[in-house]
Structure 1
């Protein structure tokens, strides 16, 4: 019996050591799996559908008969980025869908796709069609906000209400180095974190190394999307005044990626919009400040 217990203890030590080594080598894989587990723990169902021939992953949570909300992530993001905000909407009675855009998360990453905001907008509309949804409340964060602006402008009959979180879309040249979205060094990663968050956490060296590895792997997608956005051909300055549906604009007060001035201009261009600034928050406000944003979003949707 003692010999058996020794072997069990040895096997456990080997397992722990193996997991520890794997975590040290690829910590992002563990973080991503933890995020997925959090989504499932919140009641989300992980599913796939096909849009324009591409396999698109999404989460669905909330009552199946509730009013529908679709939330679209930003550049380099994924559906799990909504893990803190989406459950609040689900708890308020909404059926929430969180798609991974092509190129991101668990969706296909086709080499023959442009990754422009206009083509991603077609995917979002196709996603709504694939799920048989006639009209939805539509929200988008950063690049996702730009995408949903295009959907709302081109297909206003499909969008009941629109929510823009720290949204891109205006014809504005960034005053920060766009190459930082695909950092190649630890120093560049620190600069990106400082842009995204007012108080970025310290990133251990082994974690930074894995982030950089993942960044290199998917850099071609981000480059293709960013190059398309920087042409200015899909900007929404002239489209926004035509929007008629209720619009909520939520902005992190200290956002450095899409500064507060951009949110104020969007608010001016959409006369019927509601403007909310979240103090102390940056570009990642929908995640880092979800406790402040959730009640505002629910109140807007329930009107």
Structure 2
């Protein structure tokens, strides 16, 4: 298997992201993750999606770390500081799921608060519903979905998928800029582009859009259907936070429909002045809201 490893100098001087990466071996690759906060503190695992990496959660992490939580933020295979198989066919829903299961098992995490957004949702939901539900205690859900092949994707998402298909040298920074409401400083755009210096390094960002099943018989659809069925009977607490300006996965209908799967979820809370990458637009607010919710969800002594 041909693997690309982004040179470490690409990650120098990342604004607002002082955290040292940790590395582990999995399936012949080196995978990266951030692990900050007391090791005996309640773990919060934050999963990114397409085409971002752990840098996306830097603003969310601050309030959580200040409140005493442990933040574990992996880079999916093909993203961030993790190794990047160069063969597009390597990337599958199952492999991404297996990589996250192995992280939770290797670190022996339990009672996890699982924070998911974009493709972090399908991966995280599958981990929590089917693969190792005993490790996950609650969910924080943001601008994501369960893809069963029955869902209908927005026109904006279809345009995004087609754009990526026409541009194998995916313009990562531009895509992130266009999916936020607030303007991004050039150094932040450069930080998002840091893992992906050339077309060869971008198999991960290229492959997520076509992995979403659009018909019930498409690859991955059966697993998505099993996840949806499992979640519909799931009693774990869930906090939904949804951007008010996300045309790709809009609150209505996507956010409301997804929340209905979770028996113990209240209606999604709207995050004002935020786009699809709401962690970038409102990360500090989101981190404080998650921290407050975790305190309220904590059992009385």
TM range, smaller chain: 0.7 to 0.9
Aligned to 1:196: 179
Once residues 176 and 138 of structure 2 are traced to their aligned partners in structure 1, the CA distance between those partners, rounded to angstroms, is 32
Question: Unpaired runs of 5+ in structure 2?
Answer: 1-7
Once residues 150 and 70 of structure 1 are traced to their aligned partners in structure 2, the CA distance between those partners, rounded to angstroms, is 14
How far has the Cα of 1:284 moved from its partner? 1.1
Q: Taking structure 1 as the reference length, what is the TM-score of the superposition?
A: 0.76
Work out whether 1:173 is the aligned partner of 2:156: no
Match of 1:294 among 279, 282, 287: 287
Give yes or no for contact 1:114–1:225 (8 Å, CA) kept in 2: no
Aligned to 1:33: 12
CA-based RMSD of the aligned residues comes to 3.2
Task: Flag the structure with more relative contact order, 1 or 2, with Cα contacts below 8 A and sequence separation at least 6.
Answer: 2
How far has the Cα of 1:217 moved from its partner? 3.6
Q: Judging changes above 3 Å, is the alpha-carbon distance between structure 1 residues 55 and 132 closer, same or farther for their aligned structure 2 residues?
A: same
Once residues 186 and 133 of structure 2 are traced to their aligned partners in structure 1, the CA distance between those partners, rounded to angstroms, is 43
Pairing of 1:1-303 with structure 2 (within 5 A)? 32-35=11-14, 38-40=16-18, 44-111=19-86, 114-154=90-130, 155-170=132-147, 171-176=151-156, 177=159, 178-181=161-164, 184=167, 192=175, 195-200=178-183, 214=197, 216-230=199-213, 231=218, 233=221, 234-235=223-224, 236-261=227-252, 262-274=254-266, 275-302=268-295, 303=297
Once residues 268 and 192 of structure 1 are traced to their aligned partners in structure 2, the CA distance between those partners, rounded to angstroms, is 30
> Deviation string for 1:30-87 (max 9, x for gaps)?
984332x6322xxx33210123433111111112221111111111211111111112
Q: Which entry has the higher C-alpha Rg, 1 or 2?
A: 1
Once residues 40 and 185 of structure 2 are traced to their aligned partners in structure 1, the CA distance between those partners, rounded to angstroms, is 43
Once residues 266 and 91 of structure 1 are traced to their aligned partners in structure 2, the CA distance between those partners, rounded to angstroms, is 30
Once residues 140 and 293 of structure 1 are traced to their aligned partners in structure 2, the CA distance between those partners, rounded to angstroms, is 12
Once residues 22 and 91 of structure 2 are traced to their aligned partners in structure 1, the CA distance between those partners, rounded to angstroms, is 22
Q: Judging changes above 3 Å, is the alpha-carbon distance between structure 1 residues 224 and 259 closer, same or farther for their aligned structure 2 residues?
A: same
Q: Judging changes above 3 Å, is the alpha-carbon distance between structure 1 residues 134 and 53 closer, same or farther for their aligned structure 2 residues?
A: farther
Moved more, 247-256 or 164-173: 164-173
Q: Taking structure 2 as the reference length, what is the TM-score of the superposition?
A: 0.77
Give yes or no for contact 2:115–2:140 (8 Å, CA) kept in 1: yes
Once residues 85 and 110 of structure 1 are traced to their aligned partners in structure 2, the CA distance between those partners, rounded to angstroms, is 29
Once residues 163 and 81 of structure 2 are traced to their aligned partners in structure 1, the CA distance between those partners, rounded to angstroms, is 23
Give yes or no for contact 1:164–1:248 (8 Å, CA) kept in 2: yes
Count of residue correspondences: 266
Give yes or no for contact 1:78–1:104 (8 Å, CA) kept in 2: yes
Aligned to 1:9: none
Q: Judging changes above 3 Å, is the alpha-carbon distance between structure 1 residues 86 and 111 closer, same or farther for their aligned structure 2 residues?
A: same
- Between structures 1 and 2, the one with greater helix share: 1
Give yes or no for contact 2:112–2:136 (8 Å, CA) kept in 1: yes
Q: Judging changes above 3 Å, is the alpha-carbon distance between structure 1 residues 70 and 287 closer, same or farther for their aligned structure 2 residues?
A: same
Q: Judging changes above 3 Å, is the alpha-carbon distance between structure 1 residues 190 and 299 closer, same or farther for their aligned structure 2 residues?
A: closer
